[in-house]
Amino acid sequence: EIVLTQSPGTLSLSPGERATLSCRASQSVSSSYLAWYQQKPGQAPRLLVYGTSSRATGIPDRFSGSGSGTDFTLTISRLESEDFAVYYCQQYGTSAWTFGQGTKVEIK
């Protein structure tokens, strides 16, 4: 089973700043099979990015994904108030889906 490790655990930033979230896999992941989600308190997760870099429907272009192999990144170019939340990466491989443990982006 592929294990995803996200860092940092918590990111303290101010609105307008750039956020860089990391997701490292224990084995190589196909770029087609890496996704990112946002979850706010009391809400279901929301798909942000799939296939490493494709934004889901309705996701603003301040969210971008990149990476390959075992290292993937979600970047939020300029944080807005509604972006403070928990972010999870997820991979699919050999009929199994796994999630990272999450990165919390909090207001500094």
Binding residues for other proteins (CB under 8 A)? 1, 32-33, 35, 37, 39, 44-47, 50-51, 56, 86, 88, 90, 92, 95-102
Tell me the closest approach of the beta carbon of residue 108 to other proteins, in angstroms: 22
Tell me the closest approach of the beta carbon of residue 52 to other proteins, in angstroms: 11
Q: How far is CA 38 from CA 32, 54, 64, 86, in A?
A: 19, 15, 13, 6
Residue 50 or 84: the one with the smaller Cβ distance to other proteins is: 50
Strand 86-93 to 103-107 pairing: antiparallel
Residue 44 has which token pair?
């279901």
Tell me the closest approach of the beta carbon of residue 89 to other proteins, in angstroms: 10
Residue 16 or 44: the one with the smaller Cβ distance to other proteins is: 44
Dist CA 6 CA 102 (whole Å): 6
Residue 16 or 58: the one with the smaller Cβ distance to other proteins is: 58
* Structure letter (DSSP) for residue 56: P
